[in-house]
């Protein structure tokens, strides 16, 4: 038996040494996971049983070696929904919750929403959860990621497909009200600057998109223009350094109006929205 405070302090020190960005938080999340409780309820725990300590130490060592926290707990939260995640799928990020929130706000009643590059299914699942009136479709190219999405979207009513977003949903051409997309957008040359957790554990298909990171966004501009109804809305995420270059992909195409860029909660440029000209 050991006292939780001491166990947590030692684990946080190990994580700090490993360069983990939020050592106290992650130490507590992992302990809660091992004890089958929540972080908020940890103060109610008097002792950590000896038989749980070995398991905890092993997880802390893996986190210190920079495996993503969510791969170790198997869970990621996104707005109000829980997602199963692990090797083979991009871990949904809190900043993407804003893009999902935008779609939830702007989609017309009983409208048609398509989530391109759905990964774990995070955006599609959140939209379906908060707007049960909508018809939601999603597509993912990568086989392992698609398998995670299948698991996460089971029972939600979302129509999930496997394929390339460049050609997906031929049956919906000209009818979609809102498109969301969190595409790969990191410039290949920015490899060095990507956090170790992402570089080593997020699929590369989820991260990188050509020399300037805008290749997928250029394809998205073309596909979205074909899928949306006139006046339909597109929202997509981009890197913080693409606050001008990403909206410019739409502005220069000459068929979009109301092109706007939006900041995330840290005040960084994060997603672009626009309306297909009528
Ligand atoms: C940055 S991740 C976003 C995943 C998810 N939407 C989220 O926000 O957590 C990009 C996703 O796009 C997928 N992807 C990349 N190229 C694609 C393509 N041509 N067609 C469909 N999906 C693609 C990747 O496999 C990855 O799952």
Ligand 1 atom with the shortest distance to the CA of 93: 9
Q: How far is the CA of 49 from the centre of ligand 1 (A)?
A: 41
Q: What is the pLDDT of residues 219-237, one digit of tens each?
A: 999 999 999 999 999 999 9
- pLDDT at res. 99: 98
122 has a pLDDT exceeding 90? yes
C-alpha span between 159 and 17 (Å, rounded): 44
**Among 114, 117, 209, 222, residue to substitute to test ligand 1 (most atoms within 8 Å of Cβ):** 117
Q: Do 86 and 203 meet the contact criterion of CB atoms below 8 Å apart?
A: no
**Among 79, 116, 140, residue to substitute to test ligand 1 (most atoms within 8 Å of Cβ):** 140
Q: What is the pLDDT of residues 200-225, one digit of tens each?
A: 999 999 999 999 999 999 999 999 99
The whole-chain average pLDDT of the chain stands at 96
| Ordered DSSP codes for the chain | -B-HHHHHHHHHHHHHHTT-S-HHHHHHHHHHHHHTS-GGGGGG---B-HHHHHHHHHHHHHHHTT--HHHHHSEEEETTEEEE--TTSPPP-TTHHHHHHHHHHHSPTT-EEEEES-TTTHHHHHHHHH-TTSEEEEEE-SHHHHHHHHHHHTTS--EEEES-TTT--GGGTTTEEEEEE----B-GGGGGGS-HHHHHHS-HHHHB-STTS-HHHHHHHHHHHHHEEEEEEEEEE--GGGTTHHHHHHHTTT-EEEEEEEE-TTS-EEEEEEEE--
C-alpha span between 139 and 166 (Å, rounded): 10
pLDDT band at 1 (very low <50, low <70, confident <90, very high): low
Q: How far is the CA of 148 from the centre of ligand 1 (A)?
A: 12
pLDDT band at 191 (very low <50, low <70, confident <90, very high): confident
Q: Which residue has the tokens 């008097």?
A: 46
Query: pTM of the entire structure?
Result: 0.95
**Among 92, 206, 215, residue to substitute to test ligand 1 (most atoms within 8 Å of Cβ):** 206
- pLDDT at res. 190: 87
pLDDT band at 192 (very low <50, low <70, confident <90, very high): confident
247 has a pLDDT exceeding 90? yes
267 has a pLDDT exceeding 90? yes
Ligand 1 atom with the shortest distance to the CA of 91: 9
Residue nearest to atom 9 of ligand 1 (CA): 92
Compute the average pLDDT of residues 59-86: 97
- pLDDT at res. 11: 98
Q: Which residues line ligand 1 (CB under 6 A)?
A: 90, 92, 96, 117-120, 122-123, 139-142, 145, 164-166, 182-184, 203, 205-206
2 has a pLDDT exceeding 90? no
Q: How far is the CA of 242 from the centre of ligand 1 (A)?
A: 18
Q: How far is the CA of 14 from the centre of ligand 1 (A)?
A: 33
Ligand 1 atom with the shortest distance to the CA of 99: 8
47 has a pLDDT exceeding 90? yes
C-alpha span between 122 and 139 (Å, rounded): 12
155 has a pLDDT exceeding 80? yes
- pLDDT at res. 13: 98
130 has a pLDDT exceeding 70? yes
Compute the average pLDDT of residues 7-35: 97
Q: How far is the CA of 206 from the centre of ligand 1 (A)?
A: 5
């Amino acid at each position: 038996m050991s006292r939780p405070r001491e166990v947590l302090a030692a684990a946080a020190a190990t994580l700090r040494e490993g360069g983990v960005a939020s050592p106290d938080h992650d130490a507590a999340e992992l302990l809660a996971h091992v004890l089958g409780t929540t972080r908020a309820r940890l103060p109610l725990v008097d002792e950590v049983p000896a038989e749980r300590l070995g398991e905890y130490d092993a997880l802390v060592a893996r986190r210190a070696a920079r495996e993503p926290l969510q791969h170790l707990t198997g869970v990621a939260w996104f707005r109000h929904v829980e997602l199963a995640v692990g090797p083979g799928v991009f871990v949904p990020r809190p900043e993407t919750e804003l893009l999902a929130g935008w779609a939830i706000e702007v989609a017309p009643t009983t409208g048609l929403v398509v989530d391109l590059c759905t990964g774990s299914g995070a955006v599609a699942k959140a939209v379906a959860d908060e707007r049960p009136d909508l018809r939601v479709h999603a597509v993912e190219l990568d086989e392992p990621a698609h398998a995670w999405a299948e698991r996460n979207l089971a029972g939600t009513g979302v129509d999930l497909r496997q394929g390339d977003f460049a050609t997906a949903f031929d049956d919906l051409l000209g009818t979609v009200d809102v498109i969301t997309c969190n595409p790969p957008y990191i410039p290949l040359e920015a490899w060095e600057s990507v956090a170790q957790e992402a570089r080593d554990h997020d699929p590369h298909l989820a991260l990188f998109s050509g020399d300037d990171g805008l290749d997928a966004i250029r394809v998205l501009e073309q596909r979205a223009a074909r899928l949306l109804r006139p006046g339909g809305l597109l929202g997509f995420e981009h890197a913080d350094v693409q606050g001008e270059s990403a909206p410019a992909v739409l502005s220069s195409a000459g068929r979009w109006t109301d092109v706007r860029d939006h900041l995330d909660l840290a005040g960084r440029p994060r997603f672009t929205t626009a309306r297909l000209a009528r």
